[in-house]
Amino acid sequence: MIRNFIFVLLLAAAARPALAQSPDPVTFGIRIEMGDVAQARAWLRAGLHPDTLADRIGTGLMIAAWRGDMEMMALFVSSGADVNKTNAVGETALMHAAWQGQKQAVEWLLARGARVDNAPGQWTALHYAAFSGNEEIAALLLARGADINARAPNGSSPLMMAVYEGHEEMVKRLLARGADAAVKNDRGDGALEWAVKFGHRNIARHVGSASAIAAASARPPEPVVRSLPPPAQAPAAGQISELMRMRSTLAARGMTDSVERLDRRIASLRAQQAREHARSSMVFEITARRAAPTEQETRLLFSPPSGGR
């Protein structure tokens, strides 16, 4: 009986097509970002693991959620992708969809078991929705039980993320739903301190009294902070070379839009590579704004070589 079962398993394994050559992380990411469902399906049929990670953003499902590519999302989930899989910085497909305002993708993922909250002390989809200022998605997440006062790795709350970006309406909505304006992060800053620091005077009035605003305004100014990619996503010369090769191929095929996307990506990687030499000690405070899949950035606060923050 057991021998027959093992034999059946061996036959099934032999029947699956072997993946002749797995795509490298850069190629995989670019093809998924381009929405190449046919290529993704071919890779998956050939044995590619459905939770394969690209060089940035994350798995195929995460990239598709970021783009709101419902067909691509369905393909990866039907192939066994984990809707709660995390990337190198703890992000999930739901968080990417929330960040980019992909409401349909958010609803689709929630319907398939995506967790609204993460473990204590981790970024959540609500943090990302608040940071991007998407009130509709924030309301959807809260309706599904999202922790309105969830604390990020540095202690920041969704309310603080909304304050950071100056999203006044988001701040008002979160406060109306019970957000705690007294929460402080690991650096001792809260919603009020950030509102004053970043010049959001109207928001400051929502999160603090006149006397508290005056006290926060009296604090000494802090050094200007800069944004850099985290080490896990730092570009490599090999990636740039691979992108240049792919650019030549796409240009030869007349795929102008794709070439323009690659040009922006290559320029971004080169700029990041140049900044690597200036990197010093860094503190993870927030996850960066990502304006588009082809222009991904991650913001970190770090101490300049001369001292300060």
Instruction: Count Cα atoms within 13 angstroms, Cβ side, for 263.
Output: 9
9-115 shares its CATH topology with 117-222: yes
How confident is the model over 65-97, as pLDDT tens digits? 999 999 999 999 999 999 999 998 899 999 999
Length of the chain: 309
Lowest average pLDDT, out of 42-51, 93-102, 158-167, 240-249, goes to 240-249
The ranges assigned to domains in the chain are 9-115, 117-222, 232-302
How confident is the model over 228-283, as pLDDT tens digits? 333 444 444 566 666 776 766 666 666 677 777 777 777 677 666 655 544 444 44
What is the predicted pLDDT for the residue at 214? 86
Top-level class of domain 9-115: mainly alpha
- Going by pLDDT thresholds of 50, 70 and 90, the confidence category of residue 119 is very high
- Going by pLDDT thresholds of 50, 70 and 90, the confidence category of residue 219 is confident
- What's the burial of 208, exposed, middle or buried (CB within 10 Å: 0-12/13-18/19+)? buried
Q: What is the pTM of this model?
A: 0.68
In contact, 172 and 182? CB cutoff 8 Å? no
Mean pLDDT, range 180-201, rounded to an integer: 94
Tokens of residue 146, six digits: 């999202």
In contact, 87 and 118? CB cutoff 8 Å? no
Top-level class of domain 117-222: mainly alpha
